[in-house]
């Protein structure tokens, strides 16, 4: 199984790294694979804090989370050819037209990214993988909320597609909102609904159940997961708010939920917790409500991101502050995670994306 890792890199390390999971009679092994192409052809951007793999079209998209690039108050968005998945080759890059792009999605020949500095950029991604400014769109989010340190302005943090309704949801950590968007016939984002959640929640990442009936928001600032019923036109209705993990130990002051994801069968939800340094597993009831099943230490510090493998039998965790990746087995019947199967060192890992080319 191949996977890509996005990293906060240093001058001596890479921002995008390819790895693989090998399963043999000797056990399980994580291995990093060097890119041996010429330097000018390699994935040479910095701070690739979020990745999107479009395996069917052999494309890899990445943010370059910068506050300034060549005199512009902007980061970058980059497109790579992964026809040879072991050797990502840069196609082109464009300014994100905002500070600190931190998340993105590829949607109907559009590449749409959240700039943590308060905006969303919508670029054309043509059939050749080129990112184009022609026909682009920039949306400025406005507002603030109650946290005096983290919510003095808008901070769009993630974008997630609805599997059936052709909608996208944007979680804004700074304004305590989740905004519903659609794409019009010209490929422009149109705002449909704005859902306000409890002040001080800080929604970071959201995930939609495979059946489309429920949306889950991992709230970074209040350490909770909000559960919403998705109405016929994509509106959200709060039905549950639950702690993102078990009670914190006395030596842990605070824990910040980061990534949230559901199994393909929709029976289990997982949330990474930075501070407690754990992955919480929740059983998903038929009505979408969550109940905590287990909490598993991640084998490192500050698990900013994780991904379930395409076969659903493994979970790969990126521990940002301990500079390591940790592989866990996953019981597809009970949802439980195993003890760590393998660990490998890597500078600043913050995103994991599996390559699932069939």
Per-residue pLDDT tens digits for 126-173: 999 999 999 999 999 999 999 999 999 999 999 999 999 999 999 999
Ordered by where they begin, the domains of the chain are 58-303+328-335 (2.130.10.10)
Find out whether 104 and 159 touch, Cβ atoms under 8 Å: yes
Residue 148 confidence (pLDDT): 98
Convert the pLDDT of each residue in 225-261 to its tens digit.
999 999 999 999 999 999 999 998 888 889 999 999 9
User: Given the structure tokens 């209705």, which residue do they identify?
Assistant: 237
pLDDT at residue 43, as a whole number: 56
Strand residues in 84-187 grouped as ranges (E): 89-95, 101-106, 110-115, 119-125, 131-140, 156-161, 167-172, 177-183
Structure-derived torsion over alpha carbons of residues 210, 211, 213, 219, reported in degrees to the nearest 10? -10
In this predicted model, what pLDDT tens digit does every residue of 71-91 receive, in sequence order?
Answer: 999 999 999 999 999 999 999
Q: Which residues contact 220 (CB under 8 A, 6 or more apart)?
A: 157, 173, 202, 203, 204, 256, 257, 258
Torsion of CA 300, 305, 311, 313, to 10 degrees: 30
Lowest mean pLDDT among 28-42, 83-97, 120-134: 28-42
Q: Torsion angle of alpha carbons 214, 215, 220, 224, nearest 10°?
A: -10
Closest by CA position to 111, among listed 154, 68, 51, 69: 51
The overall average pLDDT reported for the chain is 96
| 3-class SS of residue 86 | coil
Structure-model confidence comparison of residues 40 and 97, the more confident one: 97
Note every long-range contact of 317-321, with CB atoms under 8 Å and residues 24 or more positions apart, other chains counting. Answer: 317/272, 317/279, 317/352, 318/5, 318/349, 318/350, 318/351, 318/352, 319/277, 319/349, 320/8, 320/274, 320/348, 320/349, 320/350
Place of tokens 């992964």: 82
**CB contact at 8 A, 19 and 2:** yes
Contact 217, 203 (CB under 8 A): yes
């Amino acid at each position: 199984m191949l996977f890509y890792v996005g990293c906060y890199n240093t001058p001596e390390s890479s921002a995008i790294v390819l790895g693989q999971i090998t399963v043999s009679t000797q056990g399980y092994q994580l291995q990093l694979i060097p890119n041996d192409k010429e330097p000018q052809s390699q994935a040479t951007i910095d701070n690739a804090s979020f990745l999107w793999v479009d395996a069917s079209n052999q494309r890899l998209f990445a943010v370059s989370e910068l506050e300034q690039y060549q005199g512009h108050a902007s980061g970058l968005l980059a497109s790579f050819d992964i026809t040879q998945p072991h050797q990502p080759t840069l196609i082109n890059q464009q300014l994100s037209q905002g500070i600190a792009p931190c998340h993105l999605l590829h949607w109907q020949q559009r590449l749409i990214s959240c700039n943590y500095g308060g905006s969303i950029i919508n670029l054309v991604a043509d059939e050749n993988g080129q990112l184009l400014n022609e026909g682009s769109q920039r949306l400025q989010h406005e507002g603030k909320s109650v946290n005096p340190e983290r919510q003095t302005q808008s901070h769009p943090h993630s974008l997630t597609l609805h599997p059936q309704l052709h909608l996208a949801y944007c979680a804004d950590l700074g304004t305590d909102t989740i905004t519903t968007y659609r794409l019009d016939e010209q490929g422009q984002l149109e705002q449909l609904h704005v859902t306000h959640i409890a002040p001080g929640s800080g929604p970071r990442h959201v995930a939609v159940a495979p059946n489309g009936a429920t949306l889950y928001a991992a709230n970074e600032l209040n350490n909770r997961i909000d559960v919403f019923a998705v109405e016929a036109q994509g509106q959200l209705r709060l039905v549950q708010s639950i702690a993102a993990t078990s009670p914190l130990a006395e030596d842990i002051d605070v824990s910040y939920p980061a990534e949230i994801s559901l199994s393909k069968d929709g029976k289990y939800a997982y949330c990474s917790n930075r501070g407690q340094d754990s992955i919480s597993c929740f059983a998903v009831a038929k009505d979408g409500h969550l109940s905590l099943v287990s909490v598993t230490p991640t084998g490192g510090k500050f698990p900013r991101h994780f991904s379930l493998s395409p076969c659903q039998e493994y979970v790969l965790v990126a521990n940002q502050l301990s500079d390591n990746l940790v592989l866990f087995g996953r019981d597809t019947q009970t949802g439980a995670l195993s003890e760590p199967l393998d660990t490998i060192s890597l500078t600043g890992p913050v995103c994991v994306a599996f390559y699932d080319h069939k």
